[in-house]
């Protein structure tokens, strides 16, 4: 396949080499002409073990072009790995100043516009797929990058070009290996089914020529979310392990390598997809109180940053968010919490997030009805329309007799809409608004509106509730 690679830095160059190693013809372009001249002279600048040999093998299939247009004109796939810089002192080597900021999207936006303008100027029938590798925050592609491309191309995506948001999960020093043997390929596509079908086919063809790893297809915004969630999750793991280390340092007869080493043996629960579905807060007779106890221990030991406290307060805030959602939809209707147990299959309510939710609602002046198929099956349902919230993921709630006029809020996304009677409003928590547009401009208009609607909303929870559960 003929492939253009735009941005030949620490990530781009080794990946371009990897593509050429697999037999593809790669045309590279970088605004840094010196860098490209160095590659021509076999100066392999990115420090990657083995890259010099790999480049020697791949070089016959690589060229370095004088312009974006030259690279794009003869290619059907275009990778883009240009920088998305962060604000000064926001690289993690200085203390965080408490002011979150977006990346500077200027370089990637301008580069994509240049690619789109090049496509506009090329008179052929080739459908070009542009793979955006650079890291951006969720909604950037639909809100900022696609509109810039549409303007420069003079046409919507779908006929002559399409975009895949395709970030790599790659570690420096193993770029080629990680690129050619990833856990999975992340591919974000247009929300338009027609455009998506085209770019999905293209991505399957391209990645099928590199390896047999699964391709995970989704929307641009979902892929942006996966990329940043993946990285922040790794950050959380490191934070956790480092906090254990700091705590162990203050405790007698306690070595953090012994503690973390034992945790690492827990490959079923700790290092697995388990506990990775959005839903209610973590709960049960152990977790909540263990976290609070660890927080107590950590503070007594005088550690600098108490991650356990973050988990505690995060749990409260996430539950308060669900309480806010219920109150927003209640409109004077009674509120029913379906489920009291901390998880299905038990009658345990200790540390149950369902009860935490009930207490937060009470503190806000809403008295919910509590039902549970095991603990309180006799709770009478309201005679008229109500707001139902599935607080425990009991399978039996899939068959609950909801009626027209009811609202069902479901943090587990477990109900099937075809089985709900007409007139029931169903709110699957965690599923964002849908953009119904066929192609670009209405897509971006809708997305811009959705984006306004999705401005970060801080929970109104202020943290004072003491009501005991009855």
Ligand X SMILES: NC(=O)c1ccc[n+]([C@@H]2O[C@H](COP(=O)([O-])OP(=O)(O)OC[C@H]3O[C@@H](n4cnc5c(N)ncnc54)[C@H](O)[C@@H]3O)[C@@H](O)[C@H]2O)c1
Contacts with ligand X, residue ranges (CB under 6 A): 6-12, 29-32, 35, 81-84, 107, 111, 133-135, 167-168, 170, 172
Could you tell me the smallest distance in angstroms from the CB atom of residue 172 to ligand X?
5
Could you tell me the smallest distance in angstroms from the CB atom of residue 422 to ligand X?
47
Could you tell me the smallest distance in angstroms from the CB atom of residue 26 to ligand X?
14
Is the CB of 229 or the CB of 255 nearer to ligand X?
229
Neighbours of 209 (CB within 10 A): 12
Is the CB of 6 or the CB of 210 nearer to ligand X?
6
Three-state DSSP state, 3: strand
Token pair belonging to 249: 């340092």
Could you tell me the smallest distance in angstroms from the CB atom of residue 32 to ligand X?
4
Q: How far is CA 67 from CA 37, 38, 152, in A?
A: 14, 17, 17
Q: How far is CA 298 from CA 249, 261, 277, in A?
A: 11, 20, 28
Nearest CA to 397 among 334, 332, 344? 344
Whole-angstrom Cα distance, residue 457 to residue 85? 26
Token pair belonging to 222: 């979902």
Task: Enumerate residues 6+ apart whose C-beta is below 8 A from 153.
Answer: 116, 117, 119, 120, 160, 161
Could you tell me the smallest distance in angstroms from the CB atom of residue 110 to ligand X?
6
Is the CB of 31 or the CB of 312 nearer to ligand X?
31
Contact indicator for 386, 326 with CB cutoff of 8 Å: no
Could you tell me the smallest distance in angstroms from the CB atom of residue 231 to ligand X?
9
Is the CB of 9 or the CB of 344 nearer to ligand X?
9
Is the CB of 129 or the CB of 135 nearer to ligand X?
135
* Phi and psi at residue 336, to the nearest 5°: -120, 125
Contact indicator for 115, 160 with CB cutoff of 8 Å: no
Length of the chain: 470
Contact indicator for 339, 371 with CB cutoff of 8 Å: yes
Could you tell me the smallest distance in angstroms from the CB atom of residue 135 to ligand X?
4
Could you tell me the smallest distance in angstroms from the CB atom of residue 85 to ligand X?
8
Three-state DSSP state, 113: helix
Is the CB of 224 or the CB of 410 nearer to ligand X?
224
Is the CB of 188 or the CB of 339 nearer to ligand X?
188
Whole-angstrom Cα distance, residue 142 to residue 190? 8
Is the CB of 10 or the CB of 317 nearer to ligand X?
10
């Amino acid at each position: 396949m003929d492939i253009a690679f735009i941005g030949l830095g620490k990530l781009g160059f080794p990946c371009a080499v990897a593509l050429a190693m697999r037999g593809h013809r790669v045309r590279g372009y970088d605004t840094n002409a010196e860098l490209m001249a160095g590659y021509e002279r076999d100066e392999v600048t990115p420090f990657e073990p083995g890259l010099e040999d790999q480049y020697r093998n791949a070089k016959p299939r690589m060229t370095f072009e004088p312009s974006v247009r030259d690279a794009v004109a003869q290619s059907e796939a275009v990778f883009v790995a240009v920088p998305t810089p962060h604000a000064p002192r926001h690289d993690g080597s200085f203390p965080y100043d408490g002011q979150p900021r977006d990346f500077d999207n200027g370089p990637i936006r301008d580069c994509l516009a240049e690619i789109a303008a090049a496509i506009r100027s090329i008179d052929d029938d080739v459908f070009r797929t542009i793979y955006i590798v650079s890291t951006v925050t969720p909604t950037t592609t639909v809100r900022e990058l696609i509109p810039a491309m549409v303007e420069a191309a003079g046409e919507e995506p779908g006929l002559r070009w399409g975009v895949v948001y395709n970030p790599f999960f790659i570690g420096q020093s193993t770029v080629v290996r990680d690129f050619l043997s990833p856990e999975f390929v992340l591919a974000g596509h247009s929300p338009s089914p027609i455009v998506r079908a085209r770019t999905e086919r293209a991505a399957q063809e391209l990645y099928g020529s590199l390896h047999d790893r699964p391709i995970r297809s989704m929307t641009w915004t979902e892929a942006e979310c996966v990329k940043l969630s993946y990285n922040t999750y790794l950050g959380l793991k490191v934070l956790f392990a480092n906090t254990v280390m700091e705590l162990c340092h203050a405790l007698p007869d306690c070595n953090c390598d012994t503690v973390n080493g034992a945790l690492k043996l827990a490959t079923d629960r700790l290092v697995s997809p388990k506990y990775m579905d959005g839903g209610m807060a973590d709960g049960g007779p152990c977790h909540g109180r263990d976290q609070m106890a660890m927080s107590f221990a950590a503070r007594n030991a005088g550690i600098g940053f108490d991650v356990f406290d973050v988990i505690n307060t995060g749990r409260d805030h996430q539950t308060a968010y669900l309480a806010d959602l219920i109150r927003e939809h209640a409109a004077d209707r009674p509120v029913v919490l379906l489920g009291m147990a901390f998880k299905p299959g038990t009658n345990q309510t200790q540390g149950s997030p369902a009860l935490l939710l009930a207490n937060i609602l009470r503190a806000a002046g809403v008295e919910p009805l509590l039902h549970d198929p095991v603990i309180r099956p006799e709770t009478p349902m309201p005679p008229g329309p109500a707001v139902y919230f599935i607080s425990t993921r009991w399978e039996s709630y899939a068959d609950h007799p909801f009626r027209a006029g009811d609202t069902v809020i479901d943090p587990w996304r477990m109900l099937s809409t075809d089985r709900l009677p007409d007139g029931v409003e169903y709110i699957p928590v965690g599923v964002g608004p849908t953009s119904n547009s066929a192609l670009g401009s209405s897509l971006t208009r809708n997305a811009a509106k959705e984006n306004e609607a999705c401005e970060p909303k801080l929970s109104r929870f202020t943290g004072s509730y003491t009501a005991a559960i009855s």
